[in-house]
Amino acid sequence: MTLRIAEIFGPTIQGEGALIGEPTVFIRAGGCDYRCSWCDSLHAVDSAYRETWRPMQPDAIWEEVRRLSGGQPLTVSISGGNPAIQDFAPVIGRGKAEGYRFACETQGSIARDWFGDLDWLVLSPKPPSSGEQVDWEAFAKCVAAGQGAGATVMKIVIFDEADFNWAREAAARFPDLPLYLQPGNPEVDPQTPVDLETLSERMLWLVDRVTEAGWFSARVLPQLHVFLWGNKRGV
Ligand SMILES: C[S@@+](CC[C@H](N)C(=O)[O-])C[C@H]1O[C@@H](n2cnc3c(N)ncnc32)[C@H](O)[C@@H]1O
Ligand SMILES: Nc1nc2[nH]cc(C(=O)O)c2c(=O)[nH]1
Ligand code: SF4
Ligand SMILES: [Mg+2]
């Protein structure tokens, strides 16, 4: 069995959500069933990049993670694209046998049995600004598939007032999931430097909105890696 892999990189730090700041190696799967208007990982989504995705056996993927981490167990972050398109069970199995932990980032459109093998399942339903429409039945199946997982959390990207209002309703559907909000980064071209002032303004706006609304169950975090490295790949 081979998997389509866009990149494997690290160790770096997890820049988003519940595990922010934690050293991690990323496995980025190629291919996505969504086309978010502001996707910051188009090189793992757009079929124009297809020929850059490597077909890899689970053993080869695992060897690369082990090499990058020097054989020292850490948290492996599986992202994409949508990693749920493919079967990561064999990779997770190999890693867990060696004491590694696993987190996975997915939009929650496709449920997988292996979600239950994860230490962290990060479900990131997409707000209106993405141009995508959430299938809440499929999303609920992802939550159910993650039951055996160490923890399942929700992470929502917010660009504007419409996204904010949508996020409040989305969060209310799953009140038991710990909730992370992150401001959207409007500049996703790897060639264009990010404007730190714009990012700070967006973060401040979101903090203001959350506090004004008395939304005290939410945590608001920036994309730390974008502040540090902009849209550079492989970090
Ligand atoms: C690139 S996606 C890959 C995993 C999966 N497809 C998903 O969307 O959850 C990883 C995370 O980056 C977030 N993201 C993508 N583009 C972004 C942007 N322009 N600004 C802020 N977050 C973004 C997504 O919402 C998701 O939470
Ligand atoms: N450092 C770092 N943190 C991240 N958190 C989520 C990422 C992703 O693209 O899935 C990401 C990424 O690409 N780099
Ligand atoms: S679901 Fe994730 S990887 Fe797919 S297009 Fe949207 S942000 Fe990008
Ligand atoms: Mg990213």
Burial code of 209-225, b = ≥16 C-beta within 10 A, e = fewer? Answer: bbeeeebeebbbbbbbb
Q: What six digits make up the tokens of 101? A: 């932990």
- ipTM for the assembly: 0.98
Choose which residue among 102, 106, 225 to substitute to test ligand 2 binding: the one with the highest number of ligand atoms within 8 A of its C-beta.
Answer: 225
Q: What is the pTM of this model?
A: 0.98
Question: Does residue 235 lie within any of the structural domains?
Answer: no
* The pLDDT value given to residue 67: 98
pLDDT at 148 over 90: no
* The pLDDT value given to residue 123: 98
Strands in 1-84 per DSSP E? 3-13, 23-29, 54-56, 75-79
For residue 94, the domain's CATH number is: 3.20.20.70
Question: Which element (helix H / strand E) includes 65?
Answer: helix 58-68
Mean of the pLDDT values across residues 121-147? 98
Question: Do the Cβ atoms of 101 and 76 come closer than 8 Å?
Answer: yes
Question: Tens of pLDDT along 44-54?
Answer: 999 999 999 99
Q: What gap in Å lies between CA 113 and CA 120, rounded to an integer?
A: 14
- Domain span including residue 25: 3-229
Any ligand 3 atom below 6 A from CB of 36: yes
Question: Does residue 40 lie within any of the structural domains?
Answer: yes
Edge-to-edge strand list for the sheet holding 101-106: 54-56, 3-13, 23-29, 75-79, 101-106, 120-123, 151-158, 179-183, 218-220
Q: How many domains does the chain have?
A: 1
* The pLDDT value given to residue 196: 97
pLDDT at 104 over 90: yes
pLDDT at 6 over 90: yes
Question: Does residue 63 lie within any of the structural domains?
Answer: yes
Question: Does residue 163 lie within any of the structural domains?
Answer: yes
pLDDT at 149 over 90: no
Cα dihedral value 45, 222, 230, 157, nearest 10: 30
Question: Tens of pLDDT along 210-226?
Answer: 999 999 999 999 999 99
Question: Does residue 26 lie within any of the structural domains?
Answer: yes
Mean of the pLDDT values across residues 87-111? 98
Question: Does residue 15 lie within any of the structural domains?
Answer: yes
Strands in 129-232 per DSSP E? 151-158, 179-183, 218-220
* The pLDDT value given to residue 5: 99
Question: Does residue 197 lie within any of the structural domains?
Answer: yes
Pocket around ligand 2 at a 6 A CB cut-off? 12-16, 26, 41, 79, 105, 225, 235
Question: Does residue 164 lie within any of the structural domains?
Answer: yes
